Amino acid sequence: MTDVARVAIESPLPHLDRLFDFAIPEELGEVALPGCRVRVRFHGRLVNGWIIERGPSEFEGTLQPLQRVSGPPVLTSEIIALSRRVAARYAGTLADVLRFAVPPRVAAVEGREHGSAPPVPEPPDMDGWSSYPLPADGAASWICHPHDDPFDLLARAAVQTLATGGGAVLVVPDARDVRRLHTALTALVDPAGVAVVSAEASNRVRYRTHLQILAGARRIVIGTRSAVFAPVADLRLLVVWDDGDDVLAEPQTPGWHAREVAAVRSWQSGARLIVGGFTRTATTAQWLVDETAADVQLSRQVARSRRYQVMAQVEPDADTRRIPGRAFALIRNAVERGPVLVQVPRAGAATGLICAQCGHPIRCARCGGGVRPDRSGTPRCRLCHEPAHACGSCGSREFVGVGAGSRRSAEELQKAFPALAVVRSDAESGVLDSVGDATAIVVATPGAEPRVIGGYSALLVLDTEVLLARSALRAREEAARRWMAAVSLTAPHATTLLVAPQDLAVVQALVRNDLGTLAAVERDERAAAHMPPAFRCVRLRGTSEPVSQWLTDYEGEVLGPLETVEGSQALLLAPHDRASGMLQFVQRRQAERSKAGSPPVEVRVDPVDLGEN
């Protein structure tokens, strides 16, 4: 029986998410291989697709022939299998995932020599890892001490993998991190063996890099989220750094997260997985509960000997002055030893509510979600829309909005210290990579903090209520992540002052140097509220009638539908270890509605912005 090409059509329509058989013309017989891009005639139109496999056809009629094969195979069987699993995990389609796995084709680079792998390097010094008990295989949830260099440690882990004959893929949130990791790696190995996969590069560079990886010329791949799909041969190490950063979640359908793709790929390939950060996410805390990952952090004895000093304080007049007296004293003393970092939230309108009496963020008594005023001004949960009547900490019924910006902070500090140089680093004024000793005070927003050789002499974190009062489910987790990122920029014996109530769990976690317990508590509280990561969540959004129709016959747990500023919204929830039925239902329902031409309903699985919008 003659082979046919089984093709995945590039289409956004869920009901076309299956393989279609096409005849292989004789002249294309040797080039129509699995992993090739093709052009086919489908329903009277020429469309793009991928040959997923070749084999005999059960179709007894006349098949449409392949019209064209576009280039060599650029999809490996491993990445095809990975993409299928990712599509199932996110209730999406194979075509949705494949568009992220391979960069756009640039035919001009296909005929070129892609080089060969540099000589295998000598194993690097791994003493830096001696305090972190990494498992020999499987997954690890790693909390890095803020005064260790994670990029140097991860570079050494990658080179160690290369020295033993394996390949490595390391994923970081942004281009700034890519540059730091590349610097650490190229200090240890020949730069010719390191591939950089980044959205900042041109299509030509991205496609050439992809072909070099396929050819085995680049065995270590670093990059932003799409690098997780890099077709590295003999993959033995996967790394996702700072997995709590929401830029690791793809904003386009189906909304996959690099951490989850890496976890699926690790399970599929047997590669070791390290997911790390200066904090731990509730998601990897769930992995510890499930015993699918090892807990990697400093032992208590070592951690005690390497304590970093974090204090917290609020003053009665801090709400009107914003900067308490102790903060001015901290800056005055520390600036003699070097620059001081002042971290403030992004500028903007109120992002949440706090109690006017005790200053604690207002959270929903029912599900723990953040609270914002609705259109009528009534404080309501952004997740379940339950009205909030009183502060869960002190019982007060008086709430106030919060919001702040770096400009105001810089102006206040310049007035308080007119003889000192105060600079800003943020999206409005420009992001600085580094500053010198001549700068006394740096006011920066999270993620825009410049580096200082030797570290900042002190850190002041202002307007903490802005992050804590956000309505997002991940508000506390994100606050800890941003604050610890700033702590990591300080000198080993520097003092950090959080202008925040001392009794908040997230504040205590930093004061006690105990980020692992915070992640466990966060996971437990969300589990009690039936929220991710203990529960898988599918968010539906659309106009009222389509969302209601979509939910017809669905028998699982549902929050909603509720009317929001974006339209109608519903949340489907299922325990994470029993969620396959829910996800399969979602895929079937989307395919049914697509085939029937029903009004669209946006579907997102485990959205990182849950409760925020």
In percent, the amount of the chain with pLDDT more than 90 equals 68
Q: Who contacts 413 (Cβ-Cβ below 8 Å, separation ≥6)? A: 323, 331, 342, 422, 441, 443
Looking at residue 321, what is its pLDDT?
53
Q: How far apart are CA 476 and CA 535, in angstroms?
A: 18
Mean pLDDT across 229-239: 96
Residue 226 pLDDT > 80, yes or no?
yes
In percent, the amount of the chain with pLDDT more than 70 equals 96
Residue 37 pLDDT > 50, yes or no?
yes
322 — pLDDT class (breaks 50, 70, 90): low
Number of alpha carbons in the 13 Å side-chain half-sphere of residue 608? 21
Mean pLDDT across 444-470: 90
Residue limits of CATH 3.40.1440.60 in the chain: 4-109
411 — pLDDT class (breaks 50, 70, 90): confident
Q: How far apart are CA 443 and CA 516, in angstroms?
A: 29
Residue limits of CATH 3.40.50.300 in the chain: 127-302, 308-351+403-512
Helix 282-290 and helix 258-269, axial crossing angle in degrees, nearest 10: 30
Neighbours of 363 (CB within 10 A): 24
Looking at residue 375, what is its pLDDT?
67
Give 265-298 pLDDT, tens digit per residue: 999 999 999 999 999 999 999 999 999 999 999 9
Looking at residue 318, what is its pLDDT?
44
Q: How far apart are CA 392 and CA 81, in angstroms?
A: 47
Task: Annotate 425-457 with DSSP letters as a single string.
Answer: EBTTTB--SB--TT--EEEE-TT-PPB-TT-EE
Residue 469 pLDDT > 90, yes or no?
no
The CA-atom distances, in angstroms, between 77 and each of 29, 30, 74, 166, 436 are 19, 18, 10, 18, 50
Residue 172 pLDDT > 70, yes or no?
yes
Topology at the third CATH level for domain 529-605: Alpha-Beta Plaits (3.30.70)
Residue 320 pLDDT > 50, yes or no?
no
Looking at residue 352, what is its pLDDT?
65
Looking at residue 281, what is its pLDDT?
97
Q: Which CATH number fits domain 308-351+403-512: 3.40.50.300, 1.10.10.10, 3.30.365.10, 3.40.50.1010?
A: 3.40.50.300
Q: Running DSSP on this structure, what letter comes out for residue 38? A: E
Give 49-67 pLDDT, tens digit per residue: 999 999 888 777 789 999 9
- What average pLDDT does the structure give for the chain? 90
Looking at residue 437, what is its pLDDT?
80
Read off the tokens for 35. Answer: 């992993």
Residue 348 pLDDT > 50, yes or no?
no
Mean pLDDT across 255-272: 97
Identity (one letter) of the amino acid at 179?
A: R
Residue 319 pLDDT > 50, yes or no?
no
CATH tag, 4-109: 3.40.1440.60
CATH tag, 127-302: 3.40.50.300
Residue 531 pLDDT > 60, yes or no?
yes
Q: How far apart are CA 480 and CA 181, in angstroms?
A: 23
Range scoring the smallest mean pLDDT among 59-63, 147-151, 208-212, 501-505: 59-63
Looking at residue 405, what is its pLDDT?
66
350 or 462, greater pLDDT: 462
Residue limits of CATH 3.30.70 in the chain: 529-605
403 — pLDDT class (breaks 50, 70, 90): low
Residue 48 pLDDT > 80, yes or no?
yes
Neighbours of 301 (CB within 10 A): 9
324 or 592, greater pLDDT: 592
CB 32 within 8 A of CB 24: yes
Q: Who contacts 154 (Cβ-Cβ below 8 Å, separation ≥6)? A: 170, 181, 184, 239, 241, 274, 276
Q: How far apart are CA 494 and CA 485, in angstroms?
A: 14
Q: Where are the beta strands (DSSP E) in 183-312?
A: 194-197, 220-223, 235-241, 272-277, 293-296, 309-312
